[in-house]
Amino acid sequence: MIVGPTLGTGLFIGSGPALAAGGPLSLLISYIFISVLVYCLTTAIAEVAAHMPADDGTAVTHTYQYGWSHLGFALGYLRWYSFALMVPFEITNAMVNIGLWDPGAQVALRVAIVCLVISGFNLLPERLFKRSEVMFTGLKLFTTVGLVILSLVLASFPGSPAGGFHYWRNPGAMHEYTTGDSLGRFLGLVQCLVYSTVSFIFTPELIVQRAEQEVSESKYNILRSSTTTSMIHSLLYTLSVVAIGVMSPYDEPRLTNNGLGAGSSPYIIGVGRIGTPALSMIATGLIFLSSVASGRSFLYLSSRTLCSLAEAGHAPTVFKARATWGVPHVSIAASAAFSSLAFLSAGEPSSLVYNWLMFFITTSGYISWMSWCIVYLLFRRTTKAQGFTSVHQSWIQPYGTYFGIVVCLLLSLANTLTIAAPCPLPTTESIPAYMGLAVFVLLYSGHFLNATVTTWRDFRRKGNAVDIEKRTDATERSGTRP
């Protein structure tokens, strides 16, 4: 069971800057490490889902049930705008893939066309959209597996530029990032981890949500199905990064558009070095379609999240409105508004815009991962206090949750670490990362203050009512005295 929206997200293009930062060995270590983290997070969310499945998403629903309403509110909106931001991210991804790196009207025109296509798909009746989802998921799976096979075939030919894992030896397996010796290799690994996270950022939640929707035989199957899917994703991604390390050296300038940010896909670079233009065009087209397909899926998820928030009373009721064919058109329009951020590529290099969106999204992802870990620990505490022993438990929990909290905290600080190195990237690229944290804090604190003020007003109103009642009783008693 492959989760369509997450497949290929950040892998085809985002692996380029990661490879340039750390080299093929660091890239492989990063993906294996994050795969372990994702497995821990997936099993934690799946345990809660197996205990009490939720149709509108376990992470947000059970945050209200086992956590705090302030956290549930902030996490619900974080989920909405993170999915919505993935739409311009994927559009920018597509522009980078076809080589539209320089700003201009040409980029704006193509961005507008892709935005219309993505929005048009989401206005289709849900039955037709789900049919197209199956088709595009198959396309992305075919692209991913096909590129892996192509890379491994090329590696088996001694005469090929990538033959015999040549790039692992020259220029090498690990890149010394910003400085020499062991410190440089360590910083390269850290930066590689940061760049690689975007490929997994929504995988745990979407895997469990899909399992909740599709598994009906028993609650245990939710946990089993989720863990199996997580391992399949990890295996597929691990094979992909091995193939990426085969296809391109880490010192290829096109990987980062000469240091600006995201550049050409390592697959495209590798195919281009072979000297087969037709194959390069096919690979470029497939990666472009994969990005557009992911964008339409994330707009669907974002709009349904906003509609669910409205139906639960956590968003204005206008977002519950649906067209006659059942599509929440108001929520789609509100979520699609984030697509306008892709037009930043008309004024700034698309490689730089890619980095801005990526840092914001990954920071939001770290926050949501830590929130899920907290909810899981609160869930365990609640069930233990009630004397309930769940039979739907993973062998790695709760230690996997502790591991997840520590790793997410360290990854959140990783940008500061690389900037202090010093980092060759512009310091302004770190601003979106901290903006992601600031938005979440504003949502949490805003809901907390609103709840506090509301409670205080209710208390004062009740207090005044009691005071008036006491005065009335006293007046009546004094008036009846002889």
Estimate to the nearest angstrom the gap between the alpha carbon of 109 and the chain centroid.
27
Per-residue confidence (pLDDT) for residue 42, from 0 to 100: 92
E strand or H helix that includes residue 283? helix 277-311
What is residue 348's predicted lDDT score, i.e. its pLDDT? 82
CB atoms within 10 A of CB 53: 18
403: how many CB neighbours lie within 10 A of its CB?
A: 16
148 vs 100, 152, 235, 270, CA distance in Å? 25, 6, 12, 12
* Per-residue confidence in pLDDT tens, the chain, 482 aa: 456 667 766 788 888 888 888 889 999 999 999 999 999 999 998 888 888 777 666 667 778 888 788 888 999 899 999 999 999 998 988 888 777 656 677 888 888 999 999 999 999 998 898 888 888 888 888 888 888 888 878 777 766 666 667 788 888 888 888 777 888 888 888 888 888 888 888 888 888 888 877 765 555 688 888 888 889 888 989 998 888 888 888 888 888 877 666 677 888 888 877 777 788 888 888 888 888 888 998 999 999 989 988 888 888 999 988 988 889 999 999 999 999 998 988 888 887 888 888 888 888 899 999 999 999 999 888 888 887 766 678 888 889 999 999 999 988 887 655 544 444 445 556 677 778 888 999 999 998 898 888 877 776 676 555 555 555 555 555 554 44
Q: Specify the pLDDT at position 28.
A: 93
> What's 375-408 look like in SS3?
HHHHHHHHHHHCCCCCCCCCCCCCHHHHHHHHHH
171 preceded by a cis bond (ω within 30 of 0) = yes
Tell me which residue has tokens 């639960």.
Answer: 312
Query: pTM here?
Result: 0.88
Cα(22)–Cα(12) distance, integer angstroms: 16
Q: Minimal CA–CA distance to 147: which of 229, 232, 242?
A: 242
The predicted structure's pLDDT at residue 2: 52
- Classify domain 9-432 at the CATH superfamily level: Amino acid/polyamine transporter I (1.20.1740.10)
Q: CA 121 to CA 132: how far, in whole Å?
A: 9
Distances in whole angstroms, Cα of residue 408 to Cα of each of 29, 136, 445? 17, 31, 21
Would you kindly state where each structural domain of the chain is located, as residue ranges? 9-432
Q: Return the structure tokens found at 274.
A: 């072979």
pLDDT of residue 464: 58
